[in-house]
Amino acid sequence: MTMTKGKLVILLLVSLSWPAPAQVVTSFEGIDASQLNRPEYAVDPNGAVGTKQFMEYVNVYYQAFDKTTFAPVWSTPQVATTPFGNLANCQHITGDAVIIFDRLASRWVIGGHTSVANNYYYCIAVSSTDDLSSSALRWYPYALALNSILGTNSQGHVYFPDWPKLATWADAYYVALDLNDPDNSYDEVGVVACALDRTNMLTGSHVRNPRCFVTKDPLDNGVYLAHSLIPADVEGTTPPPSGRDEYFVSIQNPPIDGVTTTSHSINLWTFHMDWTNPRNATFEQSSIPVAPYTPGCYAAAAPVQTVCVPQPTTGITGWYIDSVGDRLMPRLAYRNFGTYESFLFSHVVQTGTQGSTQTGVRWYELRGSGTPLLYQDGTISPDQSLYRFVPSIAQDKNGNAAVGYSISSTQTHPGMEAVWWSLTNPNGINKLTLYSGVGDQENTWHWGSYTSMTVDPVKNCTFWYVNEYLPTNQTGSQISWGTRIAKFKVPTCR
């Protein structure tokens, strides 16, 4: 069944790999550019499913939708600064905000950075309730001054806090930011990781000072190869074991030598927080060997350029889409099964034959009660034509993993797809078409730089995914993207 833009779509799908019951995929329209006063080319669609609603963010607005009726909570999308009220230092959030649902406390959390040069803040707001339609809804807003944490470059300008990622852990909210040099094409030169006082934020109380660590590029070569950290975010309602350290992951890009195009490791960062004596906190980097990979769209001659995804009109317009292949993609989804702990994450890699830039999705599972180790991994690229990019991964209570992502090719308009599989049988991949786009992006290379897959915390079975598409060719100066929210579950999960 197909229906017009803005309508509900229900698809019945059957496993492509082994017999299984018919599967229902439901999708509905999220925030569209036409609803916004000032839409941007870079969409950055993300969100989370809570107990009563799904909440979505795009640059720079948010909206919530009832989980049953899909009706929007507010008559129009809300400006991203709304939860911060009159908090003076949080009136200029201009992009890269993230929405998460704190499953351990049943609260909504919005976080984003400000963009006033040399006067940066990280702004975070925590809801007073899990029900975004409640008249009792209040937001507890906080502004973290970043200048002294970020530091300055040789010209005396404060580094720009780019691509912040936020996550829930039992002892803190953790946030990671890139250090971008405003006088060197905003290249990443380091990273920042902070622990925020979740305990007091949940009650709107005065918070303790955050504990932050800064890691700069030791080679000072203008591009930090281990940039864009992602903190582990708790899936489900079982917390990590008491005293469990928080973990971050990041890519290890190939060395910039004009020759090397492959990597064979990822970075694992361990954040030990001690709120009793914050000076005892530590942040340490280690390396995990993995199968060799070439980051999506990577070229030795242009290592920071990740634009190579074609569209049907690319041959005429010359416009390609950004794969965002130079970093791991959120989320780092953590689930505590009691008998073991599992961490899942994914990113874009090149999968085509030599000379081809076709991209697919590489995924990893880490396990371990101490420092987690690589348990298994795989690459999703079931054909020789589609480019797959900006993935996001999660798993349900039965250990079924699902990853959603964008697709595009010279024959296929940018759209949304997903696959799911049992982590005990990673060879049985089931592919789902979530939504088919009908237009191309003909006026910019910008695309969302991340998406999000989350699992319903009520029964821990249903996957919810949000991404973007084009309802018509986007040409000239117009901005005409749409977003779509899809939900599905593995038929055997009850």
> Mean pLDDT over residues 59-84, rounded?
98
Q: How many angstroms separate the Cα of 28 from the Cα of each of 4, 83, 152, 429, 482? A: 11, 25, 45, 25, 11
- Residue at token pair 């992006």: 441
**What is the second-level CATH architecture of the domain 9-488?**
7 Propeller (2.130)
Mean pLDDT rounded to a whole number for the chain: 94
Q: In the chain, what percentage of residues exceed pLDDT 90?
A: 91
Reported confidence tier of residue 5, pLDDT bands at 50, 70, 90? very low
Whether the full predicted model's pTM is greater than 0.85, yes or no, is yes
Q: Could you read off the pLDDT of 123-146 as tens digits, one per residue? A: 999 999 999 999 999 999 999 999
pLDDT of 4 higher than 80:
no
Q: Could you read off the pLDDT of 216-259 as tens digits, one per residue? A: 987 766 789 999 999 999 999 999 999 999 999 999 999 999 99
> Mean pLDDT over residues 118-127, rounded?
98
Gyration radius (Cα) of the chain, Å: 21
> Mean pLDDT over residues 64-70, rounded?
98
Q: What is the DSSP string of 385-406?
A: S-EEEEEEEEE-TTSEEEEEEE
Q: What angle (nearest 5°) sits at the alpha carbon of residue 42, between those of residues 37 and 43?
A: 70
Q: In this predicted structure, what is the pLDDT of residue 222? A: 72
Q: In this predicted structure, what is the pLDDT of residue 22? A: 56
Q: What is the DSSP string of 208-264?
A: PPPEEEEEE-TT-SSS-TT---EEEEE-SSPPPPTTPPEEEEEE-PPPSSSS---EE
Q: Could you read off the pLDDT of 38-49 as tens digits, one per residue? A: 999 999 999 999
- The DSSP secondary-structure symbol of 146 reads -
Reported confidence tier of residue 28, pLDDT bands at 50, 70, 90? very high
Residue type at 475? T
Span between the terminal Cα atoms of the chain, in Å: 26
Q: In this predicted structure, what is the pLDDT of residue 372? A: 98
Q: Cβ distance 404 to 434 under 8 Å?
A: yes
Reported confidence tier of residue 15, pLDDT bands at 50, 70, 90? very low
pLDDT of 85 higher than 50:
yes
Q: Could you read off the pLDDT of 458-475 as tens digits, one per residue? A: 999 999 999 999 999 999
Q: Could you read off the pLDDT of 390-429 as tens digits, one per residue? A: 999 999 999 999 999 999 999 999 999 999 999 998 888 9
pLDDT of 87 higher than 90:
yes
Measured distance CA(468)–CA(471) in Å, rounded: 10
Q: In the chain, what percentage of residues exceed pLDDT 70?
A: 95
Measured distance CA(347)–CA(267) in Å, rounded: 13
pLDDT of 342 higher than 50:
yes
